[in-house]
């Protein structure tokens, strides 16, 4: 059967994020099958027929956004219940809820989270190992058409956050099984990585084995690298060095490794990441809401200056309470300008790169996605600019990063398939899904006894 073709025709601007960072005015993009075949001026592609033509006048076309750290499966069931100042009790309650979830609950909450991501322009994301009913959730991945990296977060040391503790051998076996079972699934849209939860909850043997799995299967490794002052001091007492240096000593850094959050690092650790090609992801939405001091002590500008590939994440819908990658893009573009009292810090163009091509590089997917170029996968977002927040429109990068948000996403294409059109998901009845997840969330909290009533009286 012949491949279908789509032409996105006559866009106001196409932000290619290609190596020349071209912005094509009055541009068109031709998609054949699941890949981009041509991109250029509308006049250059005018005579080329397509099975479907999308009128993109007054639209801005971008690559799909990458969310490099997003717990997809559990948050929506109990989203918004946690008080701002829950502190160290937050994660134990999160994982108590997560451990109690059924396959049906994870399927529906994952599908709702993915719907939200896609509706607001995120076409690829990494779930850092918190989905436990992967077989059930594979149907949500298939149905929605998303691009996703999965895994199974493991711990072989006791921990205070209710993570299940396995033997080292069991943890290694579990990570390998997930890679064997799910890597390259759904026509390659699903990848699977090794995912120890963190260095603190892992033995050296587990971290070394996780890196070996990533190398053996040609995949990746991610772990939470959110280091408080106490955890840094603990690492120094145990190992005589800071956490990133400890990972380097074990060989658990390098181009296949993605460190998440990146809080509590010093300059020497940034230099280790740069020297070894280790990737990173920051989650400003979660850091700010959690009072983590990201703008006081975070070293994102230093990482970028040294060429570290840093992507954007949102963490989860029950700590940051939002999962829109564009919000993280906006935040990194403004936070360090204020923190450093330097308006040159993290320009809008760099923030957009972090959400697209640099995020794709952080995920090891820069040859496939992250820019609008011939031969790459057709993951694209079309923004409707006939809206007040987009006007007036002269510099589309500035408008996109500083003015716009996901509400103006009109059409989303993943792997050549239109999954959002006219601001609506095309793969699910959103109203029915929302009703179902509300019901499941109420049942989950009832049977676990996890509840945090509103501080204001409900009458």
Mean pLDDT of 195-204: 97
Integer Cα distance of 62 and 381 in angstroms = 5
Q: Are 318 and 283 in contact (CB under 8 A)?
A: no
- Give the pair of three-digit tokens for residue 96: 């108590």
All domains in the chain, ordered by first residue: 5-64+371-425 (2.30.40.10), 65-362 (3.20.20.140)
- In this predicted structure, the answer to whether residue 163 has a pLDDT above a threshold of 80 is yes
* pLDDT above 90: residue 62: yes
Contacts of residue 287, defined as CB under 8 A and 6 or more positions apart, other chains included, come to 261, 263, 293, 294, 298
Exposure b/e, 186-223, CB count within 10 A at least 16 = b: eeebbbbbbbbbbbbbbbeebbebbbbbbeebebbbbb
Q: Which pLDDT score is estimated for 366?
A: 98
For the residues 394-421, what does the mean pLDDT come to? 98
8 A C-beta contact, residue 300 and residue 269: no
pLDDT at 95 exceeding the cut of 70: yes
Higher local confidence (pLDDT), 317 or 35? 35
- The answer to whether residue 183 scores a pLDDT higher than 60 is yes
pLDDT at residue number 112: 98
pLDDT (0 to 100) of residue 44: 97
Average pLDDT over residues 67-95: 92
pLDDT tens digits, residue range 318-329? Answer: 888 999 999 999
State the DSSP code for 402.
I
> Model's pTM, two decimal places?
0.97
pLDDT, tens only, 344-403: 999 999 999 999 999 999 999 999 999 999 999 999 999 999 999 999 999 999 999 999
User: Mean pLDDT over residues 135-156, rounded?
Assistant: 98
Confidence at residue 319, expressed as pLDDT on a 0 to 100 scale: 85
Q: What is the pLDDT of residues 7-19, one digit of tens each?
A: 999 999 999 999 9
Q: How far apart are CA 399 and CA 349, in angstroms?
A: 11
pLDDT of residue 318: 87
Q: Is the pLDDT reported for residue 443 higher than 60?
A: yes
pLDDT tops 70 at residue 1: no
For residue 2, the model assigns a pLDDT of 63
Say what the pLDDT of residue 320 is.
Answer: 87
Q: d(Cα 178, Cα 286) in Å, to the nearest integer?
A: 27
Q: Rounded CA gap, 69 and 261, in Å?
A: 8
- Quick one: average pLDDT of 185-204? 98
The 10 Å Cβ neighbour count of residue 368 is: 17
């Amino acid at each position: 059967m012949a491949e279908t073709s789509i032409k996105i025709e006559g866009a106001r601007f196409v932000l290619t994020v290609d190596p020349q960072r071209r912005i094509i005015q009055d541009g068109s993009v031709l998609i054949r099958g699941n890949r981009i075949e041509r991109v250029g001026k509308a006049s250059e592609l005018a005579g080329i027929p397509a099975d479907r033509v999308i009128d993109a006048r007054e639209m801005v076309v971008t690559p799909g956004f990458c969310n490099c750290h997003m717990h997809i499966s559990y948050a929506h069931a109990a989203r918004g219940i946690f008080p701002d100042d829950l502190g160290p009790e937050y994660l134990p309650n999160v994982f108590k809820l997560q451990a109690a979830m059924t396959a049906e609950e994870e399927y529906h909450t994952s599908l709702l989270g993915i719907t939200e991501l896609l509706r607001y322009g995120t076409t690829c994301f990494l779930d850092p190992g918190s989905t436990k009913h992967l077989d059930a959730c594979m149907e949500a991945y298939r149905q929605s058409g998303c691009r996703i990296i999965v895994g199974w977060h493991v711990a072989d040391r006791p921990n205070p956050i209710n993570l299940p503790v396995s033997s080292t051998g069991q943890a290694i076996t579990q990570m390998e099984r997930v890679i064997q079972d799910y890597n390259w699934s759904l026509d390659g849209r699903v990848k699977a990585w090794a995912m120890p939860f963190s260095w603190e909850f892992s033995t050296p043997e587990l971290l070394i084995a996780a890196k070996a799995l990533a190398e053996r299967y040609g995949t990746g490794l991610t772990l939470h690298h959110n280091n408080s002052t106490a955890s840094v001091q603990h690492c120094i007492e145990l190992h005589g060095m800071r956490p990133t240096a400890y990972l380097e000593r074990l060989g658990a850094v390098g181009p296949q490794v993605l460190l998440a959050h990146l809080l509590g690092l010093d300059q020497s650790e940034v230099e280790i990441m740069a020297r070894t090609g280790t990737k990173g992801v920051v989650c400003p939405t979660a850091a700010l809401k959690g009072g983590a001091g990201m703008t006081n002590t975070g070293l994102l500008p230093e990482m970028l200056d040294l060429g570290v590939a840093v992507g954007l994440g949102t963490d989860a819908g029950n700590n940051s309470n939002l999962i829109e990658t564009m919000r993280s893009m906006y935040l990194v573009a403004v936070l360090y300008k204020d923190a450093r009292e330097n308006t040159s810090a993290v320009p809008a163009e760099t923030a957009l790169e972090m959400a697209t091509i640099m995020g794709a590089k952080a995920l090891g997917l820069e040859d496939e996605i992250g820019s609008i170029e011939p031969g790459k996968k057709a993951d694209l977002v079309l923004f409707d600019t006939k809206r007040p927040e987009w006007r007036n429109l002269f510099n589309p990068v500035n408008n996109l990063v500083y003015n716009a948000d996901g509400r103006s996403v009109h059409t989303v294409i993943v792997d050549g398939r239109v999954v959002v059109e006219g601001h609506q998901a095309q793969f699910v009845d959103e109203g029915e899904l929302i009703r179902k997840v509300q019901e499941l969330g109420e049942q989950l909290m009832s049977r676990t006894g996890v509840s945090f009533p509103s501080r204001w009286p409900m009458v």
